[in-house]
Structure 1
Amino acid sequence: MMIDFFLESLRTSPEHEAVVSSDFSVTFGQLTRLIGAYEKWLDAHQIPEGAVVSFSGDYSPGSIALFMTLARKGNIVIPLSQDSSKQFAEFREIGETEYDITVDGDTLELVVTGRKAYHPLYTQLREARQPGLVLFSSGSTGKSKAIVQNLEKLMGKFRQPRKAMRMLIFLQLDHIGGVNSLLYSLANKGTTIVSDARTPDKVCEAVERFGAEVLPTSPTFLNLLLLSKAYERFDLSSLKLITYGTEPMQESTLSKLGEILPEATLQQTYGLSEVGILRSKSRSSDSTWMKVGGDEFKTKIVGGTLRVKADSGMLGYLNAPSPFDEDGYLDTGDLVEQDGEWIRILGRASEIINVGGLKVFPAEVESVLLSMPEVNDVVVYGVGHSITGNVVCAKFSLAEELPLRELKKRVFQYCKDRLPSYKVPGKIIITDEPTFNQRFKRMRREKV
């Protein structure tokens, strides 16, 4: 099993620093011993191979060790982040969890649910005697979808050696990006850095204190970092690579990042929970054009939308029909522009605003509005209109207090020479609420 490859990596470098934060520092050897102790704990509590097990607990030696232990024991793992604590009951019900574990430091607390998980996808994993992973979509357009991965195949992507890096983990273990970052770090004898909180100051403090070389994050968080000016309060010179994904990058944000962190390479990444994280290469640090693929991926563009086929793609959804076509390709829903082998993500097809038959991409409008000095953040989406079908709506978080009438005037003046008239926001909202969700993705929809 691929888990043995990871464990061998830990055993051969027992003194290497595996995970570090302001609260703990654990070597590969200590992590190995913790995995051994958890194996005995699972046996003592009679948790069988193939059982569906959820665990709640954000990045810590305990949660990382438990994740690896459950994989080794052939369980179907459902990691739950505290970010989604209000949905724990929903996720456990959809996932048919048979055992729920809470990680508190090194201590584990168990609840036997009495459920029996009979889903055909689970049967498929059990018959193959391979571990599984269940992740949940963000549920931005409705009920969350439960995505079932073969964890053995997912881990297999990391057999090819890559460069060891000191990586600050940003996305949690319940996100494909977080799982990908952790497995990369463990497989390549890297060091996983955990910040005390996912705020600009705490992330930058951890970068400085622990010499982080890689920061994988989202465009929304990078915009927050710029607004906070935390880069002026902490030394970020150790950063060699900043990767960003999960949503389109605003070009204005990318340009500012290049100015304040000229020594760091800025690289766009691309992936989905359904297919995993594709290998990517940005045309340059200041470009939103990239190549995507890799040995285990095939891509094609149909009707302007990117489709992906992956050797390590998901087995399916627990609570929705399979989205793959007859050739095994997934329609990602991401509209792209193509220039030879390079592509540029324009936005989700479901988020495109149709104004009188003309398409408006929210990220393009956001990029312009974010350049306004009075704007902290902004999210753009469409709302219904009796004449044009839809109109562009912009919800603002402001750096200074302004009456709505004055903001509308400034937005119109600022946009009139920068955007075609149909892209200029026709509806403007000022909000004190976050414009992004717990995964630091902009919420491009109107609350109902």
Structure 2
Amino acid sequence: MNRTWISDRVNSFGDSLAVVEGDNQTTFNAITKSTASWLENESIAPQSVIVINGIFNATSIGLILCAYIKECIIVPLFNYDEEKVRTILDMVQPDLLCDTRSDTARCILFDTPPNSKPALFREINTRRESGLVLYSSGSTGTPKAILLSLDKLLHRYQQHNQRSALTIAGFLFFDHIGGFDVMMQCLLTGNTLVSMTQRTPDDVCKAIEKHRINVLPTTPTFLNMLLINRAYQRCDLSSLTVIAYGSEVMPKATLNLLHQALPEVMLKQTYGMSELGVLPTESKMGNSLWLKIKKAKYKVQDGVLWIKSPTAMLGYLNKESDELNDEWLCTGDLVEEQGEYIRILGRQSTVINVAGEKVFPAEIEALLLQIPYVKNSLVWGKKSHITGKIVAATIFIDEDIDQKQAKKHISDFCKQALEPYKIPRYFEFVNDPYHSERFKKINKI
């Protein structure tokens, strides 16, 4: 296979604007030149393992493209501090570490014995494919190191050469499967990527107005923050045509409010995970939580979604890959079916077992959002000597309230809509941030 198709594609977009990072603007030509420079760099050996600590700039992107062409395995980090980088180095045993956060890269070569590297690296080298290592968010425990085939992830772009010339927000960074997918989509279809280094609702809305952004890929947690902040009312968002959301369950209340707030914007639910890549989907309608997974086989066993796709991971570097069974990947997502469509109910790992009854936190969280002073919530299981678990709720507020009265009000409110075993029995009220760096809820297990 001629692997330079990827640099040829980028080069075909010429002087068009590829990336906006703060005050810096990068053209596709600049990325082409950066790729060529990296290809001439003798320290980038074929099939080597490269940790890239970078940002959305020509230096970082050029190295990623060079690594693909040379069948390397890349570990993309987005602006990590030294402590985080050291943790990654200990796990992947790379040949090269490149700090590409400025125009001048700083690289360190390691004399890493081949037999000290994970066995999965040797497997992908044997396939003559480029690899991508991503880390799970760690929202339910220790982050997992996941090895994907970059060849498989980019195959759809190799087959279809279409230009769309949109401006897309880089809300998620390239150390996240969603952010990496958006970056590659922009590079290989001629879109402009606007990096969102400041991700408050006000900053994001100002960037949409300034750069006339058309597509905002983000998370339900951020969209809920946007609705609370109402920055969309203070900025001109007329250029925005699509909001794509995923990576966690979308509360129905949030989706309805978003549809009311931005009626002209198409709301598109995506489906992807670090272990799988991002799959093409089709929503039933704009304000529906039902979606159809396309171009991949799926099945539902005991309420859990399994997917068979060429883009599925080879495995984990730091744990056994029990999720893979005869090329089928257990997603860990609990779903219900309606014909060709599915609806995500929540993660299997977060389901609360109350005296044998299953409670889905997302259902309770969606209900709690209907209470005006509840800005967001996290529902989790608290140990009980009688029922095994009881439903507990961490309530995020941004105002002073009488917590005793609030607990009674919330309990009474829940009694009107929920079975007794689903009603929260324990409450805690917080003002602290309730999300991770990837704008996902940090679950309690």
Query: Given the superposition, is the C-alpha separation of residues 174 and 366 from structure 1 closer, same or farther in structure 2, using an over 3 Å criterion?
Result: same
Q: How far apart in 1 are the matches of 2:304 and 2:84? A: 31
Q: How far apart in 1 are the matches of 2:337 and 2:291? A: 10
Q: How far apart in 1 are the matches of 2:83 and 2:200? A: 21
Query: Given the superposition, is the C-alpha separation of residues 431 and 321 from structure 1 closer, same or farther in structure 2, using an over 3 Å criterion?
Result: same
Secondary structure at 1:107's aligned position in 2? coil
Q: Which position in structure 2 is the counterpart of 1:38?
A: 38
Of all paired residues, the percent bearing the same amino acid is: 37
Q: How far apart in 2 are the matches of 1:161 and 1:300? A: 31
Kept in 2, the 8 Å contact 1:355–1:422? The answer is: yes
Residue 327 of structure 1: how far off its partner (Å): 2.7
Task: Verify: 1:369 aligned to 2:371, yes or no.
Answer: no
Q: Which position in structure 1 is the counterpart of 2:75?
A: 78
Query: Given the superposition, is the C-alpha separation of residues 433 and 2 from structure 1 closer, same or farther in structure 2, using an over 3 Å criterion?
Result: farther
Query: Given the superposition, is the C-alpha separation of residues 381 and 161 from structure 1 closer, same or farther in structure 2, using an over 3 Å criterion?
Result: farther
1:17 maps to amino acid: L
Residue 338 of structure 1: how far off its partner (Å): 0.4
1:76 maps to amino acid: I
1:51 maps to amino acid: S
Q: Which position in structure 1 is the counterpart of 2:179?
A: 178
Kept in 1, the 8 Å contact 2:55–2:101? The answer is: no
Kept in 2, the 8 Å contact 1:275–1:309? The answer is: no
Q: Which position in structure 1 is the counterpart of 2:196?
A: 195
Residue 37 of structure 1: how far off its partner (Å): 2.2
Task: Verify: 1:102 aligned to 2:103, yes or no.
Answer: no
Q: How far apart in 2 are the matches of 1:24 and 1:3? A: 29
Q: Which position in structure 2 is the counterpart of 1:19?
A: 19
Alignment of 1:258-269 (within 5 A): 258-269=259-270
Stretches of structure 1 that go unaligned for 5 or more consecutive residues are none
Secondary structure at 1:246's aligned position in 2? coil
Task: Verify: 1:214 aligned to 2:209, yes or no.
Answer: no
CA displacement 1:172-197 (0-9 Å, x = unmatched): 11111111111111111111111241
Q: Which position in structure 2 is the counterpart of 1:301?
A: 300
Q: How far apart in 2 are the matches of 1:276 and 1:62? A: 24
Q: Which position in structure 2 is the counterpart of 1:352?
A: 351
Q: How far apart in 1 are the matches of 2:268 and 2:82? A: 31
Kept in 1, the 8 Å contact 2:139–2:440? The answer is: no
Relative to the length of structure 2, the TM-score reads: 0.94
Q: How far apart in 1 are the matches of 2:268 and 2:290? A: 10
Kept in 1, the 8 Å contact 2:398–2:431? The answer is: no
Secondary structure at 1:380's aligned position in 2? strand
Q: How far apart in 2 are the matches of 1:176 and 1:236? A: 26
Kept in 1, the 8 Å contact 2:38–2:44? The answer is: no
Query: Given the superposition, is the C-alpha separation of residues 405 and 2 from structure 1 closer, same or farther in structure 2, using an over 3 Å criterion?
Result: farther
Q: How far apart in 2 are the matches of 1:139 and 1:444? A: 9
Alignment of 1:7-406 (within 5 A): 7-40=7-40, 42-43=41-42, 46-82=43-79, 86-117=83-114, 118-159=117-158, 160-162=160-162, 163-294=164-295, 297-406=296-405
Q: How far apart in 1 are the matches of 2:80 and 2:254? A: 25
Alignment of 1:411-430 (within 5 A): 411-430=410-429
Kept in 2, the 8 Å contact 1:352–1:362? The answer is: yes
Q: How far apart in 2 are the matches of 1:209 and 1:3? A: 37
1:353 maps to amino acid: I
Kept in 2, the 8 Å contact 1:223–1:253? The answer is: yes
Query: Given the superposition, is the C-alpha separation of residues 329 and 84 from structure 1 closer, same or farther in structure 2, using an over 3 Å criterion?
Result: farther
Secondary structure at 2:280's aligned position in 1? strand
Over the aligned positions, Cα root-mean-square deviation in angstroms equals 1.8
Q: How far apart in 1 are the matches of 2:133 and 2:192? A: 25
CA displacement 1:251-286 (0-9 Å, x = unmatched): 010001001111111011111221211111111111
1:390 maps to amino acid: K
Relative to the length of structure 1, the TM-score reads: 0.94
Task: Verify: 1:437 aligned to 2:433, yes or no.
Answer: no
Q: How far apart in 2 are the matches of 1:99 and 1:213? A: 37
Kept in 1, the 8 Å contact 2:378–2:394? The answer is: yes
Q: How far apart in 2 are the matches of 1:124 and 1:359? A: 40
Secondary structure at 1:158's aligned position in 2? helix
**Relative to structure 2, which stretch is displaced further, 115-124 or 77-86?**
77-86
1:246 maps to amino acid: S
Query: Given the superposition, is the C-alpha separation of residues 125 and 325 from structure 1 closer, same or farther in structure 2, using an over 3 Å criterion?
Result: closer
Stretches of structure 2 that go unaligned for 5 or more consecutive residues are none
Q: How far apart in 1 are the matches of 2:82 and 2:358? A: 37
